[in-house]
Structure formats: C-alpha cells, structure tokens
Structure 1
Amino acid sequence: HIPPRGCAFVCFKERSDASRCLEKMKDFRFHGNPIKIAWAMNKGVKDRFKEFWDADHGCTYIPYSELKDIPNLTTLAEGGTIDDESMPSFLKCL
C-alpha cells in the first residue's frame, strides 16, 4: 500500500516506450516544480535480488550463480521482462 502523496506510477507494455518516456520527461516541470521520474523494480526481484538492481538502467543484472535454486525464471519476470538477447542459450529453456 502506497500512501497518497501526489505521485503516480505509469506502466508501459513495451520497455522501449518506457525508456523513451523517461528520456523525454527528465526535465519536465509540473506547475513550475520539477517532477521525479525513475525506473521501478519489478515485483519478481524486489526482495531476494534487490542488491542487483541498477536504477540507472532500469534492470536487475542477476548473476547466473544466484539462479541455481530458482525452479522457474517466470517468477522473476513478474512485473517485468526477461531479456532473451542477453540470456545465455542454455538458460532459455528454463
């Protein structure tokens, strides 16, 4: 639960759309005040893997050694995506 404090969360279907929006809105002002915009960590990595979160890139770079006891990578992607292009081929079948 997030207490009301004049904030909003915006979700995009495509990461590229979110990235473009962040870039275009970085100097935006609302009623003369600068707004704070940032990537948000997805639900699947918030607890166990938050130390691997890179706020500048909006990505969680999880070392393979940390995935050994994860039965299903889909749970990590809850609220996010898994980047198939940077994933080793032997992990793509998980």
Structure 2
Amino acid sequence: MEPSEVTEASRLRVWALAQALKSHGYAAQMAESEPLLAVPAASGSPLLLRCDRRTVCGGQLWFTFAGGAPIAPADDAHLQDAVVAVKGKLAAQADG
C-alpha cells in the first residue's frame, strides 16, 4: 500500500470505531488531518486513539492509544474489542 492509501484506510477504520463508540453513547470526534480519534472523558483530558501500521504485526493496521499502547487490530472482527478497551480505559480514568 502507498502511504496515502494507508492513511485513507486508517481514517476509514477510525471512522468505523467512532461510529461504534457513538452507538454506545460516546461523543467521539475525528481529527481533520490524521487518523486520530478523541473521546471526551468524564473529567480531564479526552482519550486519544490512533490507527497506524504495527510493524511487529507485519504492518497490519492497529488501533492504539495515543501513547502507543496497542488496543486491537483495526478490522471488523476486532472492532468490539476496541470499543471494550476504550470503555475500560475511560472507566479507569473516571475512577481515578
């Protein structure tokens, strides 16, 4: 894949994750220029997520937290895993 194709594929996967989170009542917002998603937290900074190639997985697209911690492969089969991880991270932030 060309870099522009990777970016477009990443943006499509971020969009899919945003829609899944919205269906759970979260107000997820995509960045304009990069595959980045911001999910407002109950308090504090929003949770930031990215979708990038993961070299240890053969360049497969993965959802990651903005700091780089992997969440799940960025495909339909793992979309619900990403939603659960985001909900868990937001709940942990709210607790403390």
Question: If each structure's strand is expressed as a fraction of its own residues, which one has the higher value?
Answer: 2
TM-score normalized by the length of structure 2? 0.28
Q: Specify which structure has the higher proportion of helix.
A: 2
Structure 1 or 2, whichever has the larger Rg, is: 1
